[in-house]
Amino acid sequence: MGWKKPYCKPRYASSNSHKLYYCRTSLTILTLALLFGSAVYVFTPETRFWEPGFLHHEARYRGDLRDLNSPWNKLCFGPTSEKLKIAVFSKSWPTGPSPGGMERHASTLYSALASRGHKIHVFTAPSDRQQRSEVKEGNLSVHFAANDHGSVNFSLAYEMFLQENGSGDFDYVHTESVSLPYWRAKMLPKVAVTWHGIWYEIMHSKLFQELLANPNGLFPGPTTELQEAMPRLLDEIRFFSSYSQHICISNSAGEVLRNIYQLPQRNVHVILNGVDEKNFVFDPEAGLRFRKKHGVPSNVSLVMGVAGRLVRDKGHPLLYEAFSSIAKQHPGVFLLVAGSGPWSKRYSELGPNVRVLGALEPYELSDFYNALDLFINPTLRPQGLDLTLIEAMHCGKPVLTTNFPSITGTVVLSGEYGYTFSPNVGSLVEALNLAIRDGLKSLQEKGMFCRKHVLSMFTASKMALAYERFFLCMKNSKYCQYPLPTDC
C-alpha cells in the first residue's frame, strides 16, 4: 500500500499589513504570491517524505526505479561489472583555494564514479578563472573550456564534447543545471540534467528578500528582480522538456517538476547530494584544537557557527540582527563566522562575542564544524540544498536553519535534528533562544541524530551508487528493476 500524504492546513494567514502591501503590487506579483501560498500549502513541515514508517516502506521498495518518487539514495544498490562512459557538463571545477559548494559537489560525485571504474569526461571551466591544462586522473578527465573572462564557454565545451564523442562512444550525457543549454540538449538522445535550483524556488527567494528589505510596503513597488521572476519561471517551464531526464536534489523540487512544470512522472527522479564521509567526521578533539587556534575563550557557554558566502541572499542580514539581540541577552554565547563577503566587516563590528575567520580551506572545514555546538544556516534561498548543512551534520552537529521545503522535507525532518525558523528576524531570535535554553546536552543528542541520519543517505558513496544505477537504468531497462539479485 502506498504512502498517503496527511492533510495539512496553510501555515500563513494574511494580515492587514500584508493586504495593504499586495494592493500596491502588479498582477505578476499577485500571481507570484498565490504560487507561494500554494507551495506553503503543499510543503508544510507536517508533509513528511521521511516519516519512520515511510523510511521502512522505501527500504523494502520493489518495482521499477523509474516509478520511485523518493530519493534513490535510500535504496541499497549492489556492485555491477558493467562500466560506462559518461560526458558531464559543469559550470566550474574546483581549482585554487576555497572552491564553492557546487564545485565541491561536482568533484565529489565524478571522482567517486571514476573510482568505480567508469570513464568520466567533464567539460567545464576552472573555479579560480585561471588558465588550466586538461586534468587526467585515472578514469577522470577534466577538459577546460573557458572564455576570456574565465567562465565556461558553452560552444567550445560542446565542440570538445563532439570531438571526444567520436562515433557516439558516450553511454550518457549529464549536465549540472544548464551547463549544457537546452537548445544543445534537445539535439542529443540521452541527456540527464541535475537541477541545483529552479526558478520556482528562486522566485520565492526573491520574495523573501523583498519582504525582508521592505516589510511594511513603504516603497512604491517591488524590485526589478522580483518583477522579472515570473517571466523567467515561464521560460524555464517551457524549455525543461528539452532534457530527457531530470534529477532533483530535494523531495520538494521533485514535486514541483511533476505537479507544476508538468513533466512526466518517469522523467523526474530524486538523488540527494552527498559529501565525502571520510573528510567530515565527528572529532571533538579536533574541534577543541580549532577553538584554541582561533582564540575562542574557554569559558563561553555555547559556540554557534555559520559558513559560506557572506552575502545577503544567504541570510546574513537576518543573522546579524538576530545575534546582535542574542549577544545582549546571553553574553556567554559565541559566534564563529567562516567565509568571505560584504557582511564580513559587519560581523566584526558585533564585538568580542564574534570571531570572523575568513574563507577556510576545504581541509579545515571538518575541524570548524567540530568546534561548534550548533551550526546555523540562515539562508534566504529555498532552491537547492546547501552542502554546509550536510557537512555539519556529518560532524555530529545539530543545525538551525530556515524552514524551506527543500530543507524540512529532506534534511531537517523534525526537532530531533535541530531547529527551524521562518525567514524573519523575530523567528530566528526565538529559535536561537530555544536552542540556548535546551542546553549543551540536548544539542549533543540532536547532533548524534543528525550524524546517523546523514550517514544513511547523504554520503558520497550513496550518491555515487544512486547515479551509477540511474545511468545504467537509462542505458538498459533491466537495471531499472529493484532489487536485483546483486542488490543488498
| 307 strand-pairing partners | 338
- Non-local (6+) Cβ contacts of 410 within 8 A are 49, 50, 71, 250, 251, 252, 272, 385
Inside any domain, residue 155: no
Range of weakest confidence among 49-58, 101-110, 240-249, 344-353: 49-58
Asked, for residue 25, whether it belongs to a domain, the answer is no
Q: At what angle do helices 224-239 and 27-42 cross, to 10 degrees?
A: 60
Dihedral (Cα; 304, 305, 310, 312), 10-degree rounding: -40
The pLDDT value recorded for residue 96 is 73
What pLDDT digit, counting tens, does each position of 102-117 carry?
Answer: 888 999 999 999 999 9
Residue 201 lies in a domain: yes
C-alpha cell at 372: 561548534
Write the pLDDT tens digit of every residue in 281-336. Answer: 999 999 999 999 999 999 999 999 999 999 988 999 999 999 999 999 999 999 99
**CA separation for the pair 479, 466 (Å, rounded):** 12
Beta-sheet pairing, 374-377 with 302-307: parallel
- Estimate the crossing angle of helix 362-370 against helix 284-293, to 10 degrees: 100
Closest CA to 204 of 226, 237, 236, 235: 226
Whether the per-residue pLDDT at 27 is higher than 50: the answer is no
Structural domains of the chain, count: 2
Q: Which amino acid is at 402?
A: T
62 with 195, same domain: the answer is yes
Three-state DSSP state, 377: strand
**Which domain covers residue 451, as residue numbers?**
284-457
Question: Same domain, yes or no, for 371 and 398?
Answer: yes
- Pair (195, 330) in one structural domain: no
| Identity of the amino acid at 487 | D
Rounded to whole angstroms, the Cα distance separating 147 from 477 reads: 39
Question: For residue 325, what pLDDT is reported?
Answer: 95
Instruction: Enumerate residues 6+ apart whose C-beta is below 8 A from 278.
Output: none
**Residue closest to 436 by CA, chosen among 297, 291, 349, 331:** 331
296 shares its domain with 385: yes
Is 414 within the bounds of a domain? yes
For residue 45, pLDDT beyond 80: no
Same domain, 203 and 268: yes
Q: Are residues 239 and 358 in the same domain?
A: no
Residue owning grid cell 534513490: 72
* The pLDDT value given to residue 219: 61
Which residue type is seen at 458? F
Residue with the three cell numbers 542574542: 326
Q: Are residues 321 and 235 in the same domain?
A: no
Beta pairing, strands 302-307 & 268-270: unpaired
Contact call for residues 350 and 372 (beta carbons, < 8 A):
no
Q: Identify whether 133 is part of a domain.
A: no
Are 401 and 378 spatial neighbours (Cβ–Cβ below 8 Å)?
Answer: yes
Residue 117 lies in a domain: no
Q: What is the CATH number of the domain that holds 418?
A: 3.40.50.2000
Check whether residue 241 and residue 370 sit in a common domain.
no
Same domain, yes or no, for 451 and 464? no
Q: In this predicted structure, what is the pLDDT of residue 73?
A: 95
Greater pLDDT, 280 or 227: 280
What confidence score (pLDDT) does residue 362 get?
84
Average pLDDT, the chain: 86
The lowest-confidence range among 23-27, 68-72, 168-172, 200-204 is 23-27
Work out the average pLDDT over 44-62: 47
Q: What pLDDT was estimated at residue 221?
A: 58
Whether residue 370 is found in the same domain as residue 430: yes
d(CA 306, CA 400): 10
The answer to whether residues 426 and 476 belong to one domain is no
312 and 251 in one domain? no
DSSP codes joined into one string, 21-62: HHHTS-HHHHHHHHHHHHHHHHT-TTS-S--HHHHHHHHT--
Residue 384 domain-assigned (yes or no): yes
Residue 215 lies in a domain: yes
Give bridge partners of residue 88 from the DSSP assignment: 122, 174
Asked if residue 445 lies in contact with residue 400, where contact means CB atoms within 8 angstroms, the answer is no
> Which residues have a Cβ under 8 Å from the Cβ of 288 and sit 6 or more positions away?
371
- Beta bridge partners of residue 336, listed in sequence order: 305, 355
How confident is the model over 110-152, as pLDDT tens digits? Answer: 999 999 999 999 999 999 888 899 999 999 999 999 999 999 9
Rounded-to-integer distance, Cα 266 and Cα 340, Å: 41
At residue 223 the predicted structure's pLDDT band, cuts being 50, 70 and 90, is low
